[in-house]
Amino acid sequence: MKYIVIKAFNDGLTGFKAVGSSIELDDWRAARLRRMGLIGGRYEEPIQTAVIHEPEIREAVIKAPAKKPAKKITKK
């Protein structure tokens, strides 16, 4: 089972464990380390759910050429 480290310690079997990291132990070792105040309760990994990323949809923008103003017809 996995447990959370509440005090940093150096264990001969697992190496150095920092505060907040998780450690996987047998029941008898976990009981011993818990009595020493080094580990806390069981660590439950957060449930990871799949997130669907929808593709980004953009509106089509049509760029029309700028219209020139019509010439005024003048009478002579």
Q: Is 52 contained in some domain? A: no
Q: Is 32 contained in some domain? A: yes
Q: Is 26 contained in some domain? A: yes
Please state the pTM of the whole predicted model: 0.52
Per-residue model confidence as pLDDT tens digits over 4-44: 889 999 877 778 889 988 888 888 888 888 898 989 877 77
Q: Is 19 contained in some domain? A: yes
Q: Is 20 contained in some domain? A: yes
In the chain, the amino acid numbered 41 is G
Q: What is the number of structural domains in the chain?
A: 1
Per-residue model confidence as pLDDT tens digits over 54-67: 777 777 677 766 77
Distances in Å between the Cα of 14 and the Cα atoms of 8, 22, 26 are 12, 11, 12
Q: Can you read off the two tokens belonging to residue 33?
A: 């380390």
Q: Is 12 contained in some domain? A: yes
Q: Is 48 contained in some domain? A: no
Its domain, for residue 31, covers 2-42
